[in-house]
Amino acid sequence: MTRPAHHVRGANSLQLRFMLLVFASAAVLALAAATVAYQLGQARALASGRSSVEALATAVEKTLAIGAYAKDAVLLQEVAGGLARNELVDVVEVVAADGSALAKVLRTGATERLDATLLTRPLVSPFDAKESLGQLRIRLNDAKVQADADREAYTLAGAMAGQAALLAAVLYLLAARMVSRPIVRLASALRRMTPGSGERLETPDSHAGDEIGVLIAGANTLLESNERALRTERSLRAEVEAMEAQYRQIFDASSAGIFVLNEGGRLINGNPTVSRVVGLSMHELRTLSEDDFISRVFARPEQVRQMIDEAGARGETVSADLELVQLGDERRWVHCLISVQQQHGQTVEGVIYDITERKSDENAVRHRAEHDALTQLKNRAAGQATLARFVAEAQSRAAPLAVACIDLDGFKQINDSHGHHSGDEVLVACAERMRAAVRRSSDLVARLGGDEFLVALRDVGSNDAVLAQVMDNLLKGLSQPIRLTTGEEVSVGVSIGVAFLPTHAAEPQALVRAADEALYHVKRNGKQAFAMALAA
């Protein structure tokens, strides 16, 4: 993230750090120079002091030689005293050739120290240079010589340190004027500029050919590149906004319901068609808690979740016809396409089309194909198919199954004497009574044709009380008088034959045949009863 522009102060200042670096370097150089200057100055001062004393010795050497030759103690003492008055000298001694002292003088306030620096000068005869008369011995005032040397050395070292400090200050001022200040002015000018405004930095004439000029040229190049990038970004943003508006318009106006769910099943986005198809406002949909969209909208949520898992595992779009949660008495259906995106966490994208009308038409066609138009019971084909399914399920669970064939006694006479319309009324009334007698919607009641019917009772064996109850209901219900629309009352009898799985047969048609044989046994023996088939 880019930091906001601000003035540089304190330890972050490049100028301050440069100043500290210059002065630190100057201090190191000054220390080194002062050390060297001190040592050189001290050595030079020591040599100068010794040279001064030697010059004095040279000046009085001949006089002392004459005094030694003449054995003039007064002269020797006077000359030695003159030398001893010099601050650089502590002791002056004139020694004869045989080692005896001819003259010895201590400077006032001085003490003789045997470890002091000793200068000697031989004394020879003024008439014969080869004749040794003795020796001049001068012991130096080392403290004075050292003090003079130190003073001169300190003076020289201080001068060198001062020169280094002055040079550092000059370098700092020049650097601040030529580098630091132009950079600060450049930074201030950049801060004042508005991105994309077309402003550029001006290069001062004094910096036209130096590094500051190169820096300003680079900054202007960057400003130009930034301006081009901003123009491109604005253009792209405008295009994206236009495309988003267009896509939003398409999204909102689409006849298909489009929705997006997060990983937890909460609605992230959806178009108005979703709200219209599912029968909930967009506000209601968006405020549902986690996973509630699927449970609230679809009649079988587990089927939708299975589709989501399958789409995620296969990486493909999965589709199916799904029933929505029922609102009122109307059953509603949609064709749903589900896909799963994994780029930024799992999101579920869904598209739904309202197929309620198509589904209703399909159900109506299927109902007409599977049901008898008059009685609305399962027809022969649908009844046989349902019976086959019941048999397979019962065999898989080792469960019993009761199959009954029913025939209406006296129906033909009513049909012949009262007409086909009245016969149809009788068939419709009997169909309703059969449904009422069987009761369970999971069982089968079908019309095989004419006045022949088929009943299949799931999980019912020959000794079950349910069988006796249903047979009694059928016999009593079907034998009750039937009032025709003409106002007349008619009655029919009923004969019922029953067979059981697996007692009498293991195949659907074989079960029907066994029940049919039992039915005809009833007809031959007085009708209005039911009989069970004989064991195979």
Whole-angstrom distance, CA of residue 316 vs CA of residue 338: 9
Instruction: Annotate 236-305 with three-state secondary structure.
Output: HHHHHHHHHHHHHHHHHHCCCEEEEECCCCCEEEECHHHHHHHCCCHHHHHCCCCCHHHHHHECCHHHHH
* Residue 482, phi-psi category: left (phi > 0), alpha (psi -120 to 50), beta (remainder): beta
DSSP per-residue string spanning 175-242: HIIIIIHHHHHHHHHHHHSPTTS-------GGGTTSHHHHHHHHHHHHHHHHHHHHHHHHHHHHHHHH
User: Quick one: pLDDT at residue 444?
Assistant: 96
User: Cis before residue 502, ω within 30 degrees of 0?
Assistant: yes
User: Quick one: pLDDT at residue 88?
Assistant: 82
Nearest to 33 by CA among 146, 142, 163, 138: 163
Cβ atoms of residues 436 and 477 within 8 Å: yes
Note down pLDDT in tens along the chain; length 536 residues: 444 445 555 555 666 676 777 777 777 877 777 777 777 777 777 788 788 888 888 888 888 888 888 888 888 888 888 888 888 888 888 898 888 888 888 888 777 777 778 888 898 888 888 888 888 888 888 787 778 778 877 887 788 778 878 887 887 787 777 777 777 777 777 777 777 777 777 777 777 777 777 888 888 888 888 888 888 888 888 888 878 777 667 667 677 898 998 888 888 888 888 888 888 887 787 776 566 788 889 999 999 999 999 999 998 999 999 999 887 778 889 999 999 998 777 899 999 999 988 888 888 898 899 999 999 999 999 999 999 999 999 999 999 999 999 999 999 999 999 999 999 999 999 999 999 999 888 999 999 999 999 999 999 998 999 999 999 999 999 999 999 999 999 999 999 999 999 999 999 999 999 999 999 999 999 888 999 998 76
The residue assigned the tokens 């450049």 is 186
pLDDT tens-digit readout, 255-302: 789 899 888 888 888 888 888 888 888 778 777 656 678 888 999 999
401 by DSSP, 3-state: which? strand
pLDDT tens-digit readout, 98-115: 888 888 888 887 777 777
Q: Which letter does DSSP use for residue 377 in this model?
A: S
